[in-house]
Amino acid sequence: MTLTEDQLTNRERPDFSRHANQAATAPAYFSVWDLHAYYGESYIVQGVSFNVHEGEILALLGRNGAGKTSTLRAIARLDNPEARRGEIWLDHKALHNMKSYEAAAAGIQLVPEDRRIISGLTVEENIQLAQIAPPIGWSVDRIYELFPRLGERRKQEGVTLSGGEQQMLSIARALARNIKVLLLDEPYEGLAPVIVDEIEKTLNIIKEQGITTVIVEQNAIRALMLADRAVILDTGTVVFDGTAQEVLDNEALRAEYLAI
């Protein structure tokens, strides 16, 4: 079924966000509740709520400019956008009044889109730098078991790695911290499908270790195939909250909010 633009605007809009208010009643392992965030006077994250169970993978989707990166940054307690209202709870701990380094110590780790590999440092030094202060997570050896390619290239300068390897290194650095929630912003961007396969496999292994993941991806189908649940944003608000399978099965929903 494909709907025309007219049909889409004229039909009654279904309420895809019916699950979005559950945070108020059922505190989950990881909860974002009524989050509002601003870049200066620009009001971007407009009351985002969702719950994630421990060890679950949530796909946070939406068109370009929907507010996905801004939501991740607000959750990680970065200064911009500034979260002015809302609550963030992780494992019974309130994160919403924390500084970003405190949220990181509490177990939130954002892997930004640009990967931030530090130049002048080898692969191994990039990982070791993440372990300079507690709480320390996976050992270097355990990380190389998950990413053998990084082990093979441990003496190579990090910035000379391929795009896929750099993505692995930035995930590795997050694991080198003792994390509970991994926030991934566009981890598949610019990568060949075979490399995406490889990263997907490691994300499943990370999940088996009990780590909770929120993945933002333009490659929505791949993210939905990996994820248990999905939240869709549109202009900074939640328009759908449900299972990943529901989104895969709902062509009208995908066409309207994901353009796929």
Ligand X SMILES: Nc1ncnc2c1ncn2[C@@H]1O[C@H](COP(=O)(O)OP(=O)(O)OP(=O)(O)O)[C@@H](O)[C@H]1O
Which residue ranges make up the site for Mg ion (CB under 5 A)? 68-69
Q: What is the DSSP string of 160-229?
A: GS-HHHHHHHHHHHHHTB--SEEEEESTTTT--HHHHHHHHHHHHHHHHTT-EEEEE-S-HHHHHHH-SE
Q: Which of residues 44, 83, 181, 195 is near ligand X by CB under 6 A?
A: 44
Q: Which of residues 28, 32, 57, 62 is near ligand X by CB under 6 A?
A: 62
Residue nearest to Mg ion (CB): 69
Whole-Å CA distances, 72 to 67, 81, 151: 9, 10, 29
Separation of alpha carbons 69 and 110, rounded Å:
10
Complex with Mg ion: residue 68 or 254, whichever CB lies closer: 68
Stretch that binds ligand X, among 11-19, 39-47, 147-155, 156-164 (CB under 6 A): 39-47
Stretch that binds ligand X, among 24-32, 57-65, 118-126, 171-179 (CB under 6 A): 57-65
**In whole angstroms, how close is the CB of 253 to ligand X at the nearest point?**
17
Select from 171, 166, 178, 179 the least CA-distant residue to 121.
Answer: 166
**In whole angstroms, how close is the CB of 113 to Mg ion at the nearest point?**
6
Please give the single-letter amino acid code of residue 91.
D
Complex with ligand X: residue 44 or 206, whichever CB lies closer: 44
The alpha carbon of residue 171 and the mean position of all alpha carbons in its chain are separated, in whole angstroms, by 11
Q: Determine the number of helices (DSSP H) and then strands (DSSP E) in the chain.
A: 11, 10
For 138: left if phi > 0, alpha if psi spans -120 to 50, otherwise beta; the answer is beta
Stretch that binds ligand X, among 62-70, 159-167, 175-183, 187-195 (CB under 6 A): 62-70
Complex with ligand X: residue 66 or 203, whichever CB lies closer: 66
**In whole angstroms, how close is the CB of 190 to ligand X at the nearest point?**
13
Report residue 14 as tokens: 């279904």
Complex with ligand X: residue 75 or 244, whichever CB lies closer: 75
**In whole angstroms, how close is the CB of 164 to ligand X at the nearest point?**
20
Q: Which of residues 37, 52, 57, 66 is near ligand X by CB under 6 A?
A: 66
| Binds 70: which of Mg ion, ligand X, none (CB < 5-8 Å by kind) | ligand X
Separation of alpha carbons 3 and 192, rounded Å:
31
| Binds 224: which of ligand X, Mg ion, none (CB < 5-8 Å by kind) | none
Residues across the chain: 260
- The contact set with ligand X (CB under 6 A) reads 39, 42, 44, 62, 64-70, 80, 218
